[in-house]
Amino acid sequence: MKFGLLQTESSSEDDDNVPKVPLKPTNREIRRAPKRAGSTGASATSSAPRTAVAAEPFNPTPVRLVRPPNLKRVERRDRRPLHFANDDSDASGSERDEVDLLSSSDEEGGRLQDEDDSDEDYDSEEEEWPVGPVGSIGLRGWRKPGASAGKGKDRADVTSPTRLYGGPDELEEWEDKSRASTWAAANRAFHLSLARSKSLSPGLARSTASADVSSIQSILSDLALQQSREKAQLVKSFEQRNKALWDSIEASIRQAEQEEGERQRVLAEQRRKAEEAERKAKEMREAEAKKAEEERKQAEEQRQEEERKKDEQRKKDEEAKAQRAKQEAEAAAKASAVGLPASDAEGSPKAEFERWTAKMTHIKQSVLPVVSQNPDWRKSCFQAKRAITPKIGQLTSSAEAISRIIGQLDELLTSLRPPAGPAEPYTWTLNHLSKALVKQAETEVTAKLGTAYPLGRVVVGLLARGHTELGDVLMARLVKKCFWITAYWPPKQPGQSDESYQKTLGHAPPTSSETLVQYGERMSGLVALYASILQTSPLDPPQGPCPPDRLANIPPHFRPAAGWRWLVLMLRPPLIGLEPTPLLLVTFLEIAGEGLLEIYGRQLAKYLEVLLREGMREGKAGFSEKAKSSTVRLLLWLEDWEKKGVVESAPGRQVDP
């Protein structure tokens, strides 16, 4: 709270002793309070001469304590320091001294309050329509009608305020009541102290006044100190807020800088990665270009190497062809001397090979497609196929089994061979039977040579029963799989691919990864089948007996003479120098040697003697160095014949009862 103190004019001496306090300017003089009868202090003061005023060092005027304005009003106004108001309306010192403290305090307080209110620059509309609580003092305060402070009624007795909005506020009521009671008690105590000071001696009054001034100065100092502390606290809070604001700004700037730095770092990393990717891509392109250039050079070198090899191979082929032509010419001269046909004459190995190749081509182009496009023929051929395949697989060396299978196959083939009908289904069935025989020779006979005899007996039995076309079809199928049967080495034709040429030589497809040893063993199985047919007589059971008029049904290429011819042709170049030749010779002799020896006797013995002495022991035969195992096998077989005088055939030549 602020205390407004009003003071009359004092002497110069008092002005020197009393500290200077800012005074609140007034627009009118303070009226002197009327004298009250019975006031001893007042009468003494008024009856004193005017000159006594100068003798008194201090004569205080009536002082009142001004109620502070409403706090809400103070907030809108600048805080003002406490002032003393002097009353200079009367020049007479005695009139100034005669003051009735108790009677004038309330009246002057009310007037000064009204004056203070009139001096304020407030809003008339707000005064007309007050918004503060009832009994409050200030800009927004208002009083009940008739509640005047100058009517002898204390302000503390004003009715409790109510709030404009809502009901009464207990806190405000308590605050107003506390303020009113405190103000009344302070006012009474202050007036009593003034009255006592008046009745005391001048020195004591002056000391009391000095003490009061000192107290007020102390209060003012405390208030100034409190104000300075509040100002310092306000400045400190402002500085703290300002510092927090600047810290926030600087943090935002640092964060923005960090984000910008991070963004720049990310961009730099992306640029670095892009540059690295571009560098790697460039290196990869250069490496690919370099690799492509190297591959091109290698391809060019390889092409040149292949051309060089082709040239060398062509030269070798030409030389081999010339050498072969020379050898063929020499062989033709020798053959003419012994009665064999020339290489290009009718019945020569080359002519035989071309004949059977043409037969196989005819079957593939003129028989198989026609049967496949005719539903009835296809059905009958399929039934024949299902009957043939298991029968060939059930063959054994038993006479009863061989005779039974020959009879069943004869009946089946006869049903497909009408007297005046088409020959395609019959030829198709013979081709399938030949294929089954060749397949059995490639698998079973290769593992065990003796299993070739039952197959040969079935072939001879069917030929003797009139199925002469089986001889041509089976021979074409054998030559297709094993050109060695014709004792002719087929050269590579112009424009023929390597795969096609390997197939002509009887090699398996490249996907099977067949070795040369496996190839030789498979060829030996097919040669064993061919040899078993040549040495089988149609007159012996179970394939016979064949009537004499049907002996002509056995074709020449399946007669024993073809075997003698094959043995002679295999010793001619170039076949003699090939790796499979020794194996094929010993296989043929093991299967058909005993039968041919029975037929040719001394002639075959001379052949064996020359082969053993000059060909094997003297090394004139010219077998390949890679065929040592089969050469040794052939040598052992010939030496065993030389020692025993008889030829031992493979097990299975004799028919089981």
Report the percent of the chain where pLDDT is more than 90: 30
Q: What is the 3-state secondary structure (H, E, C) of 305-329?
A: HHHHHHHHHHHHHHHHHHHHHHHHH
Q: Which of 105, 107, 88, 106 is nearest to 96 (CA)?
A: 88
Q: How far is CA 404 from CA 24, 126, 411, 431, in A?
A: 157, 142, 11, 21
pLDDT at 541: 87
Which range, 262-271, 345-354, 453-462, 512-521, is most confident?
453-462
Q: What is the mean pLDDT of the chain?
A: 75
List pLDDT tens digits, range 194-227. 777 666 556 655 666 677 778 887 888 888 888 8
More confident residue, 108 or 650: 650
Residue 456 predicted with pLDDT over 60: yes
CATH 1.25.40.510 domain extents, the chain: 340-484+502-644
Assign 3-state DSSP to the chain and report helix, strand, coil percentages, each to 5.
Answer: 70, 0, 30
Residue 327's pLDDT band, with cuts at 50, 70 and 90, is low
Q: How far is CA 327 from CA 347, 525, 541, 605, in A?
A: 18, 29, 44, 26
Whether the CB-CB separation of 609 and 617 falls below 8 Å is answered with no
More confident residue, 591 or 166: 591
Give the contacts of 542 (CB within 8 A, at least 6 positions apart): 399, 400, 402, 403, 406, 457, 461, 655
Which range, 175-189, 288-302, 416-430, 624-638, is most confident?
624-638
Give the global pTM: 0.52
Long-range contacts of 414-422 (CB under 8 A, 24+ apart): 416/380, 416/384, 417/467, 422/377
Q: Which two tokens stand for residue 409?
A: 């196959």
pLDDT at 305: 86
The average pLDDT across 549-570 equals 91
Residue 145 predicted with pLDDT over 50: no
Residue 21's pLDDT band, with cuts at 50, 70 and 90, is very low
Any idea what DSSP says for residue 155? G
Provide the CATH number for the domain formed by 340-484+502-644 in this structure.
1.25.40.510
More confident residue, 132 or 512: 512
Instruction: State the burial class of residue 199 (Cβ atoms within 10 Å of its Cβ: 0-12, 13-18, 19+).
Output: exposed
More confident residue, 182 or 336: 182
Which range, 8-17, 30-39, 217-226, 638-647, is most confident?
638-647
List pLDDT tens digits, range 242-267. 888 888 898 889 888 888 888 888 88
Report d(CA 161, CA 324) in Å as an integer.
Answer: 146
Report the percent of the chain where pLDDT is more than 70: 68
- Phi and psi at 66, nearest 5°, equal -85, 130
Report d(CA 24, CA 28) in Å as an integer.
Answer: 12
Any idea what DSSP says for residue 646? S
Helices and strands (H, E) in the chain, number of each type: 23, 2
pLDDT at 496: 87
Q: How far is CA 290 from CA 276, 279, 287, 299, in A?
A: 20, 16, 5, 14
Give the contacts of 172 (CB within 8 A, at least 6 positions apart): 133, 161, 163
